[in-house]
Amino acid sequence: MPSEALEVPARAHPLWRPKRLLVTPAALSWPQGAAMAERAAALGAEVVRLKADRLTGLPDTYRDAKTTMAVVVASPSRRKPQPIPPSADWRFDLAEGCPAHCAYCYLAGSLTGPPIIRAYANLPEILGALPPVLGQGQVTSRNAARAAEGTTFEGSCYTDPLGIEHITGSLAETIRFFGAWEAEAQLRFTTKYDAIGSLLNLPHNRRTRIRFSVNARGAERFEGGAPRVRNRLHAMRQAAMAGYRIGLTVAPILNLPDWREAYDILLADCAAALVGAPDPDLTVELITHRFTESSREVLQGWYPGSGLEMDPAQRSRKLTKFGSAKYVFPKALMAELRAGLEASVSRHLPHARVLYFT
């Protein structure tokens, strides 16, 4: 049975307001950087104009870091697109960091230093680095389910770009850029946020797939500061009705006591949210919970007592392609989760394409 997640949420999730925004001189010289500083100031942030382009005065507590945004210029190495299977052909970064406080956050294992949010001001240079790699992707060319999408570009590897869009405006500009592109290419990003209004009327030309990160009701207690799943589903419906291609990122799949029923309800809710959507071209990515030694250490420091199971004794140890170890669910449980989740997708979303289970 679908749940009340289908109801229009009583209120939108409040927009994130940074307490402090640090901006470098180089970033301020870009119109996008100056606009970010203005928007943050209008939200009440203290705007600190740094004297040099090196970031200084970074906070050292978690709480202060999570309320600080830095607007900087992405260096040439940072602007170079990187292969990023299985999510997409290429990754590019509009920002790093996220305002939410998820106890399982994958960023804990990938970003170092205090968890501030860095937004990049030199968007024209970032977008200008994308056309040279068109047609060179590996994911799309090797995967029949992706062939029609052209070269795919992932914009949310190290951030939730919708969560900070009201300050950056970068997503809207990127969506327009892809919409105007002649060649077959697709922008993809994942979000747990719901403030989709500013994107609905853009000339996206169906070249953007917005993937909503959703989870079972029992997982919401681990997603501090993020909009409720019902808000995300409402945003997904709005995006689908505005003609965007849609994706579901079911992540991280947890070994909840009632996981079969919980994820079945979630997928029924997703289906109900898309009723009447003209052609969402729905894809589904199924990602189980995993952690590394270092992400576990960081997360347990940030969220002591979160109650999220991160016990190596209950997991299988696997080596990543980079030679480090990650802890995943044991093989038998992985097989059960896969069969259960895929059955629920087939039952409720028979036209969806499952891109991968990992």
Min CB(159)–ligand SF4 separation in Å = 7
Q: Judged by CB under 6 A, which stretch of 95-103, 196-204, 292-300, 312-320 contacts ligand SF4?
A: 95-103
Beta bridge partners of 286: 250, 357
Q: Does residue number 171 form part of the binding site for ligand SF4 (CB under 6 A)?
A: no
Q: Does residue number 226 form part of the binding site for ligand SF4 (CB under 6 A)?
A: yes
Q: Does residue number 119 form part of the binding site for ligand SF4 (CB under 6 A)?
A: no
Tokens of 72: 């900087």
Query: For ligand SF4, what does the binding mask look like between residues 174 and 213, x meaning CB under 6 A?
Result: ------------------x---------------------
Q: Which of 20, 17, 15, 30 is nearest to 72 (CA)?
A: 30
Nearer to ligand SF4, 277 or 299 (CB): 299
Whole-angstrom distance, CA of residue 216 vs CA of residue 214:
7
Nearer to ligand SF4, 110 or 346 (CB): 110
Determine which helix (DSSP H) or strand (DSSP E) holds 46, and give its type and residue range.
Answer: strand 46-49
Q: Does residue number 22 form part of the binding site for ligand SF4 (CB under 6 A)?
A: no
Tokens of 184: 């077959």
Residue of 84, 107, 130, 216 that binds ligand SF4 (CB under 6 A): 107
Q: Judged by CB under 6 A, which stretch of 48-56, 101-109, 227-235, 259-267 contacts ligand SF4?
A: 101-109
Beta bridge partners of 91: 82, 154
Beta bridge partners of 185: 151
Site for ligand SF4 in 138-167 (CB under 6 A): 160
Q: Does residue number 105 form part of the binding site for ligand SF4 (CB under 6 A)?
A: yes
Residue of 73, 84, 95, 102 that binds ligand SF4 (CB under 6 A): 102
Min CB(221)–ligand SF4 separation in Å = 13
Min CB(133)–ligand SF4 separation in Å = 25
332's CB contacts (< 8 A; 6+ apart) are: none
- In this structure, which amino acid lies at residue 210? I
Helix 229-241 and helix 259-273, axial crossing angle in degrees, nearest 10:
30
Q: Judged by CB under 6 A, which stretch of 39-47, 100-108, 195-203, 229-237 contacts ligand SF4?
A: 100-108
Residues of this chain that interact with ligand SF4 (CB under 6 A) are 98, 100, 102, 105, 107, 160, 192, 226
